[in-house]
Chains A and B, each alone.
Chain A
Amino acid sequence: MLDVVLPVGISFYTFQTLSYTLDIFRGRGRPWHSFLDYALYVAFFPQLVAGPIVRAFHFLPQCLRERKPTGDEFAWAMSLFSLGLFEKIVLADGLLAPIVETVYDAEGPVDVLSAWCGTLAFSSQIFCDFSGYSLCAVGIAKSLGFSIPDNFHFPYASIGFSDFWRRWHISLSTWFRDYLYIPLGGTRRGPFSNTLNVIFTMLVVGLWHGASWRFVLWGGIHGFLILAERLVKRSIPQWDVWKTGYGKLVLCLITFMFISIVWSFFRAESLDRALLILQNMFGIGVGFSGLRLKNSDMVIAIFLTVSIFLTQWLMRNKTLEWLATCSPWWARSLALAGILIFLVLGAGEDRAFIYFQF
């Protein structure tokens, strides 16, 4: 659509400063007394380039007193930072990115299995890449004594697409909810208006990710899926089976598969490539011919995707803090030792964070 060079992180700090301005305009906050505090809020380096998008009136009050993390807070911050780094450089860059690149950056068709593995691998890659960054940001901020919001809450354990957007890139989805969807009318002006609001908001969410029709389409499809989910919820019988653990797991799996398929538009370099990969995933025009991933790549893609999905499913109503609190000290030590070893032995080639481009 447009080919414009933009400063790194522009969409993040633009949204932060907009939230400050809009909150004051609507009387939700008063102009902050210190320009230096405001400058720190805008230029706070841990989350400057890829979020989370911090609200001014959550961050600015933290500047009122000197921030000094305790020993425990600092150690916990370093644990979060290490986990984020592990997600980014071991899982996303070291293991998943080469598989995704083989499938998506190739020319010509890929075989059915490889198309699925490549697409599932990208689902895992983008989660590990972005949530890894967010965890690093949260960890670094905490090591300096500041708290910034979580950006992810086990999003692949979502049951439904509305639930997904409550768990994925939380700071962005809540921003759009508070400053676009609700001011447009939200659910207050009847079903037709609400439908338009959802579609419009999701198209803008897509456009926020980049000046390309692929992102707009990606956002539009998510908007359509949210509306379709509401329709299905009203139409199908409320059987008890959907409320059991297995029923929820099936719904979660269906949600995950839809989300993964739609990621194709996000990852492919062009709309044509995305459509070709989608065709290949369903065996249209290629079947088992075309480019084929190495067996080891398929094993890694499937193993990691299943592991990430199951981990998120088991943790869907819990937090990392809960996990750490429940675990004995030696288990935490071993987990951290594993992370450190993998950081040395599992790192891949240097790759920029995917969300740096937005």
Chain B
Amino acid sequence: MPLSISNFREIAPPGPWVKIWLWAIAVSIGCLVMYECHLRTGGFRPSVVDDKDLWSYCRAQVYPYGRNTIVLLGASRIQLDVIPHELEKMFPCYRIVQLAIDGKHPLSVLKDLSEDQGFRGIIVCSITALGFNQKNWDDQSEFVKYYHNHFTLDKQVNRMINTFIQQHLVVADPYVKFRKVFDYFLRRKRMPPPRYLVTCADRSRKADYSKADIIAEKAFRIKRIREIYDQNPAPPHQTWVREAMAIEPFVAEIQGRGGKVVFLRLPSTGKHWELDQQFYPKDRYWDQFAAGTSAETIHFMNCSTLSKYNCPEGSHLDSKDALAFTRDLGLELRKKGILGRCGYNQGTQYK
């Protein structure tokens, strides 16, 4: 044995280690239970962390139900406005997979699904006029690449365990962890309030705007959309329609395999909608695209059942409205013949 390698931990320190560990576990569980109760009493609800692993986990679910798979694409609007579980209740033999990604336009996922020969389901793609601009097509591509190249079995198992814990325990939410609470406390000199937005295990999100500062939220949304429109001036509508129609090969590929594609414009209201109209007037942009595409299209302004809802901050629905909105959307999809041959649940309220 060459020279010294000192200090091996050969001997364990003496002590009643079983007692020490039992007390440690009891005390830690007790403290965590108290913190959980304190948070729940204060209005906090469990929320799942929506990351690339969770998205990839959902992405892997598009196969088992074949043609009875409904994939929801889009950004935050479809995550907040549509409740997958409610759609599944209306159409029990369909399986809903939520693949929308907050803050990103969805066409790279549509392209990925069109290239995936194993996918034969229905795509409901929530999109705005901005989303068709070709420079926004790659917005979600990092998720697609992650799913194909980095979503390994260990990440899948890790994600399943995390999802299970996060959907049941508030203390598993990073928002209430020490670092965030400490940051917030230093800034505001008080504990953080409950968030108005929680994410479910199926990646849908529930907004309770009674917990939000609506005026600030609305101002933020308007400022943000105005900046986006200012920085990305709308192209002439002929150019835009030409760019939008470039998605036709993806649609044709999916529909050629027996799938279906629906492009959906979800509600925005008030000043937000005015800005949408100002920069991308519906009649010159969306309607032109709808007339040319082989996919189905649904614009909320064309459906009285979908246009009656109010978005508290101009862009998303409150979870209380999302339930009814999902039912109305389900009926609309059925009316268009996209859903309904299979297992439509004609509960009294849907007749």
* Contacts from A to B (Cβ < 8 Å): 23, 28-29, 55, 57-58, 70-73, 75-80, 94-95, 98, 138, 142, 147-150, 153, 170-171, 174, 177-179, 182, 294-296, 299-300, 319, 321, 324-325, 329-330, 332-338, 340-342, 344-348
Contacts and interface: CB of A to CB of B under 8 A. Distances in A.
A330 B16 CA distance: 10
Nearest to A56: B1
Interface string B16-30: 111111011101100
A153 B189 CA distance: 39
Contacts of A299: 186
A340 B28 contact: yes
Nearest to A80: B9
Contacts of B32: 341, 344-345
B239 to A, nearest CB: 34
Instruction: Determine chain B's interface SS by DSSP, over half rule.
Output: helix
B1 A332 contact: no
B10 A72 contact: no
Contacts of B25: 337, 340
Interface in B3-53: 3-21, 23-25, 27-28, 31-32, 35
A321 B31 contact: no
Nearest to A70: B12
Nearest to A22: B2
A138 B8 CA distance: 9
19 contacts: A28-B1, A28-B2, A55-B2, A57-B1, A58-B1, A58-B8, A70-B12, A76-B13, A76-B17, A94-B178, A142-B12, A178-B2, A321-B12, A325-B14, A325-B15, A329-B16, A337-B25, A340-B24, A346-B179
A319 B12 CA distance: 12
Contacts of B2: 23, 28, 55, 178-179
Nearest to A138: B9
A338 B9 CA distance: 23
A312 B166 CA distance: 36
A82 to B, nearest CB: 9
Contact of B10 (A28, A147, A330): A147
Interface in B50-88: none
Given A55-B5, A296-B187, A341-B31, A333 B24 contact: yes
Given A75-B18, A341-B32, A345-B171, A147 B8 contact: yes
Contacts of B17: 71-72, 75-76, 79
Contacts of B229: none
Interface of B: 1-21, 23-25, 27-28, 31-32, 35, 171-172, 176-179, 182-183, 186-187
A147 B27 contact: no
Contacts of B183: 294, 296
A70 B10 CA distance: 12
B175 to A, nearest CB: 11
Central interface residue in B4, B8, B17, B182, by most chain A CB within 10 Å: B17
Contact of A76 (B3, B12, B27): B12
Nearest to B7: A150
Given A334-B27, A341-B31, 17 more contacts: A28-B1, A75-B17, A75-B20, A76-B13, A95-B179, A138-B9, A170-B5, A170-B7, A174-B5, A329-B15, A332-B15, A336-B21, A336-B24, A337-B23, A338-B28, A345-B171, A346-B179
Contact of A73 (B12, B16, B179): B12
B213 to A, nearest CB: 22
Given A340-B25, A341-B28, A332 B20 contact: yes
B35 A336 contact: no
Nearest to B158: A350
A149 to B, nearest CB: 5
Contacts of B11: 321
A345 B177 contact: yes
